[in-house]
Amino acid sequence: MSVQVLGGQQPGNTGELSGVWRSQYSYISTRRGEISRHHYVVVREIGNRLHCESLPGSNDSPIFLDLTRDGPALTGTWTERTAAEGYYKGAVYHGAVQLLVDPTGRRAEGKWVGFDKSSTVDSGPWTLTYETPDTSRRALMRFNRPPRAEAV
C-alpha cells in the first residue's frame, strides 16, 4: 500500500531539493533533427516553490524554471532565452513542465510542452539530476561550465 501526502513530502523522499542539478531536455528541430540541451541549474526551494536558474557558463542559452511541489510532483513553467548569435537568434521560448521526483530525491523526470520556431506546440523529455546541495560561491564556480552530454 502506498501513501501519498498531498502538499507535503512523499514517504521515502529526502526532502529538500535546493542545490545544483544537471538539466537535460530534448526537442526535434525540423532542420537539424533531435537536439539535446544541457545546463547546470541552481535550485532554490522555499516552502513548496522551486526557482531554478541555469549557471551562465553552463550554456549560452539560459533557462529558468518556476515550479510548485506537491509530493513528488513538480509542476510549473520554463523559459529559455536562446543565444543571440545562435541558430534561434536570441528568441525567447517558454512553456509548461511537469516532473516527478524519484523516491531518493536525486532525479526528476518528466515532460515539457511549448511552442517551436514555427509556432507549433511541441513537447519532449526533461530530466533533472542532483549534483550537490552546496550552493556556495566555490561550488557555483565549479559547475559554471557546460555539463557532459548524457542520454535522456
Domain architecture of the chain: domains with CATH: 19-142 (2.40.160.90)
**What pLDDT does 150 receive?**
57
pLDDT digits (tens, 9 = 90+) for 8-32: 333 334 469 999 999 999 998 878 8
Q: What is the pLDDT of residues 45-83, one digit of tens each?
A: 999 999 999 999 999 999 999 999 999 999 999 999 999
Q: What is the pTM of this model?
A: 0.85
pLDDT digits (tens, 9 = 90+) for 73-100: 999 999 999 998 888 888 999 999 999 9
Report which secondary-structure segment, H or E, holds 84. none
Q: Can you tell me the distance from the alpha carbon of 19 to that of 50, in angstroms, rounded to the nearest whole number?
A: 11
Between the CA atoms of 39, 78, 5 and 43, what dihedral angle is there, to the nearest 10 degrees?
A: 40
